[in-house]
């Protein structure tokens, strides 16, 4: 047996414990880091060839392992842009150069330019939300964009559809054809009237007047006529428009079933909506608005308009963003309007613990981790996003302190082996004296 070999073995043991102590130190230092995943040191033997009469001591080597797949605890916060993942998946973020990374650190805050940036300076990425929900690119980062709230800071959308139910009095008087609002004459007889606010392409409010008139076509037949209110004459008929403005006028005939006092559904069925076109804001194509009337009734009671609902919104700044469990980012506007603007995507790999850690609590895929798969939260194997919450580190301080004490003791024992080998060398040297 070589005494020098024994001393080298002891040095190998001390180096191994120093590496172990390094991982313990990292874990303790990052025990409060959002989304941090603990590291540990695994040991393996180094064996040298030995003969029957002589043993050659080898050594030990270390391999650092990361518990990236281990879930940390969820802690709730007061910020709606703080995000945590319960289950599998990683947020996709990018650095200032646009390089994508994976992370579980979801402490995102909107910066001065509108980007959702976490404490390490990485920007959250997602798919822009258009007229239809986005589709994930399963095997790549194509299509992902850095989420920027300021891009939607002042927007408006035109009204295209709504509903405006009402109860029409079954006992109302019949109005002759020439005096019905649909004739747009100064002699029009107004039985019932209500108005609905909509929005044009510029976000301007536009009031539309709805007139309800019982006709003589049948005992349960009514006309509904729509006009643009600012085209009325002193608040009444006739409605006119001076060029280049265009008169907005539309009439539909409704027929009620006397058995149910609701719109007739048997042949010939009654129309259940009214659609009118308003080209006066100059947009192309012209604004078309469809109002659902399917909940209209005809009971022997006074005219009672229901709650009018219509889409579209006026220009309004964003006051907040909401992020759902499915990753849908919704802009909340000052006027109460909401608009989906992005869809947060999650990424995963076949071997999560083989991801390569980088500065800023982010990870890069490697050959050992496998190909990245991208999808949406709550779909397939991907977990759920919690808004107003953060994932804590998965470090257990008690376990780390125990490992620290153990590492210290083993390091000391290895140093004693080294010291003993050194003493034996002194004995050999003194034999020559």
Q: What global pTM score does this model have?
A: 0.68
The predicted pLDDT at position 153 comes to 72
The 10s digit of each residue's pLDDT in 1-57 is: 578 888 888 888 999 999 999 999 999 999 999 999 999 999 988 887 777 777 777
DSSP label at 423?
A: H
| 103: confidence class by pLDDT, cuts 50, 70, 90 | very high
Phi and psi angles of residue 405, each rounded to the nearest 5 degrees, phi first: -65, -45
Does residue 59 sit within a domain? yes
Q: pLDDT higher for 202 or 314?
A: 202
Residues 230 and 292 in one domain: yes
CATH number at residue 165: 2.60.98.20
Residues 128 and 139 in one domain: yes
pLDDT at 179 over 60: yes
Separation between Cα atoms, residue 219 and residue 298, nearest integer Å = 11
Residue with tokens 């029957």: 52
The predicted pLDDT at position 48 comes to 79
The 10s digit of each residue's pLDDT in 67-93 is: 999 999 999 999 999 999 999 999 999
The predicted pLDDT at position 425 comes to 85
Q: What b/e string do you get for 30-68 counting C-beta neighbours within 10 Å, with b at 16 or more?
A: bbebbbbbbbbbeeeeeeeeeeeeeeebbbbebeeebbb
Separation between Cα atoms, residue 420 and residue 381, nearest integer Å = 56
Residues 294 and 235 in one domain: yes
Does residue 339 sit within a domain? no
Q: Which of 292, 311, 330 is the last residue of a domain?
A: 311
Q: Count of H helices and E strands in the chain?
A: 2, 31
Q: What H or E segment, with its residue span, contains residue 270?
A: none
Average pLDDT over residues 390-395: 96
Which residues span the domain enclosing 252?
Answer: 159-311
Average pLDDT over residues 231-236: 94
Average pLDDT over residues 287-308: 96
Residues 373 and 277 in one domain: no
Does residue 117 sit within a domain? yes
Phi and psi angles of residue 236, each rounded to the nearest 5 degrees, phi first: -145, -160
Is the peptide bond prior to 44 cis by the omega test (within 30 degrees of 0)? no
Average pLDDT over residues 317-341: 87
Question: Would you say the C-alpha torsion 336, 337, 342, 344 has a positive or negative sign?
Answer: positive
The total number of structural domains in the chain stands at 3
């Amino acid at each position: 047996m070589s005494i020098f070999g024994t001393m080298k073995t002891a040095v190998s043991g001390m180096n191994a414990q120093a590496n172990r102590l390094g991982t313990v130190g990292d874990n303790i230092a990052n025990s409060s880091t959002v989304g941090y995943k603990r590291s540990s040191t695994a040991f393996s033997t180094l064996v040298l060839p030995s003969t029957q009469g002589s043993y050659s001591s080898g050594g030990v080597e270390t391999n650092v392992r990361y518990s990236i797949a281990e879930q940390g605890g969820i802690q709730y916060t007061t910020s709606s842009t703080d995000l945590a993942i319960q289950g599998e998946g990683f947020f996709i973020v990018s650095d200032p150069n646009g390089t994508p990374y994976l992370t579980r650190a979801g402490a995102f805050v909107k910066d001065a330019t509108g980007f959702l940036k976490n404490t390490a300076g990485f920007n959250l990425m997602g798919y822009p939300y258009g007229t239809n929900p986005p589709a994930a690119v399963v095997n790549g980062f194509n299509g992902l964009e850095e989420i920027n709230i300021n891009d939607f800071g002042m927007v408006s959308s035109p009204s295209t559809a709504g509903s405006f139910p009402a109860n029409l009095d079954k006992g109302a008087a019949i109005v002759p054809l020439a005096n019905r609002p649909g004739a747009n004459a100064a002699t029009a007889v107004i039985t019932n009237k209500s108005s609905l606010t909509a929005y044009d392409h510029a976000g301007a409010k536009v009031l539309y007047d709805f007139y309800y008139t019982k006709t003589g076509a049948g005992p349960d037949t009514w006309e509904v006529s729509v006009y643009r209110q600012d085209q009325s004459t002193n608040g009444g008929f006739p409605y006119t428009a001076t060029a280049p403005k265009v008169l907005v006028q539309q009439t539909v005939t409704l027929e009620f079933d006397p058995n149910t006092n609701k719109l007739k559904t048997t042949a010939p069925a009654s129309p259940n909506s009214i659609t009118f076109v308003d080209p006066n804001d100059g947009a192309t194509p012209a604004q078309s608005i469809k109002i659902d009337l399917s909940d209209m009734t005809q009971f022997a009671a006074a005219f009672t308009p229901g709650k009018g609902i219509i889409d579209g919104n006026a220009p309004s700044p964003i006051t907040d963003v909401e992020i759902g469990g499915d990753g849908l980012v919704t802009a909340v506007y000052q006027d109460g309007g909401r608009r989906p603007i992005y869809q947060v995507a999650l990424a995963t790999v076949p071997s999560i613990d083989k991801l390569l850690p980088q500065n800023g609590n982010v990870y890069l895929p490697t050959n050992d981790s496998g190909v990245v798969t991208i999808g949406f939260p709550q779909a397939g194997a991907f977990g759920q996003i919690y808004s107003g919450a953060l994932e804590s580190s998965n470090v257990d301080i008690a376990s780390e302190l125990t490992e620290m004490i153990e590492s210290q003791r083993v390091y000391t024992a290895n140093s004693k082996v080294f010291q003993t080998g050194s003493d034996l060398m002194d004995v050999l040297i003194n034999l020559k004296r």
